[in-house]
Amino acid sequence: MDITFKKKKQDLEGELKIKSLDIEHIDEDFQPEIESCALKQKFITISPECVRCNLCVEECPVEAINPSESTKSAKILYNCVKCEICAQTCPVKAVKVIESTSSIDEDVKYHIKDLKIPHRRLRMNEIKVDEDKCKTCNTCIKFCPTEAITVEEDEKAIIDKSLCIGCGACVNVCPEEAITLERDLGPVIKTKELLIDQETCVQCQVCEENCPIDAIKLEGDKVTLNEDKCILCDVCSTKCPVGALKLERLPHES
C-alpha cells in the first residue's frame, strides 16, 4: 500500500472557519491561517489474516500484544513501542507497519505506506499429534496457513511435515492441547540504527527514564547504549527534548 491524498490549503482553512462559528468568543471575521508544517507517524496493526499462532505475543519485549484465541486475532495494545519485532516474527505477514506523513505547504498532503519489514527465519523441527487427546474437531485445519493438516472422517489429525512451517497456530487453537511443536526461530534482524549526538545531549536523563528495557543510560556526561539489549524502538528518540537521539532506518531495509 502506497497512497497519497491531497486537498487545497484554502479548503482546509475554510473548514476551520466554519467550525470556528460554533465556538463562543470567536469573532465572525476570524480568518484562520495555517502555517507550513509536517508530521510523520508510525502505526502497527494486525490484519484479519492473523492465524492465531501468538508468535508475536511471545516475542514482544514489552508485552504490548493481546493474545489471540480461535475466536479473535491478536491485538496491538496502547503500550506498543514500535520496535517492529512482531512484524519481523509474524509467519504470514499479518502484522503491518504503516508510516503516515502529513504535510502542509501549498497543498495539504497525506501519504500512507506499508513499510517493508524483513522476516526472521522460522523452521519446524518436530511436530506431533497426540492421538489419545485429538477429538477431530477440525479447529487446527481452519487456521493452518499452509494447509498442512488434514482430518479424514472419524480419524485423527495428520500433519504433513513437508508443508508445516512451524508457526504454532494449531498448537495455540487446539482445545485439547493435542499438538506439540519444536521449532527454530532466527534472531531479530537489525533494520535501524540509533545515533547518539553527545555534543547536543544535555544530560537530562529522559532517555534513561523512559527506555522500556533499560538499554540506555547516562554515565557521567555521556549517554551509553547496550546494543545487545536495545530493541530499536521509537521511545528514546521521540522523547529526547533536544534531538540528541536519532533513530535511522538502514537504507537497504527501508
CATH number at residue 176: 3.30.70.20
pLDDT given at position 252: 61
Please check whether residues 46 and 95 belong to one and the same domain: yes
Same domain, 6 and 107: yes
Say which amino acid occupies 71. Answer: T
How far apart are the C-alpha atoms of 9 and 237, rounded to whole Å? 31
Q: For cell 538499554, what's the residue?
A: 215
Into how many domains does the chain fold? 3
> Which domain-ending residue is among 185, 201, 236?
185
User: What is the spatial distance between Cα 206 and Cα 97, in angstroms, rounded to a whole number?
Assistant: 26
Residues 45 and 135 in one domain: no
Q: In this structure, are 240 and 147 located in the same domain?
A: no
**In the listed set 53, 83, 114, which residue is the last one of a domain according to the structure?**
114
Mean pLDDT, the chain, whole residue set: 91
Q: Which domain holds residue 107?
A: 2-114
| pLDDT tens, residue by residue, 42-81 | 999 999 999 999 999 999 999 999 999 989 999 999 999 9
State the average pLDDT over residues 95-123: 91
pLDDT at residue 3 above 80?
yes
Phi first, then psi: give them for residue 206, nearest 5 degrees.
-60, -40
Please identify, among 166, 185, 204, the residue that sits at the C-terminal boundary of a domain: 185
Q: State the DSSP string of 60-107.
A: -TT--EEPPBTTB--EE-TT-----HHHHH-TTS-EEEEEEEEEESSE
* pLDDT tens-place string over residues 178-236: 999 999 999 999 999 999 999 999 999 999 999 999 999 999 989 999 999 999 999 99
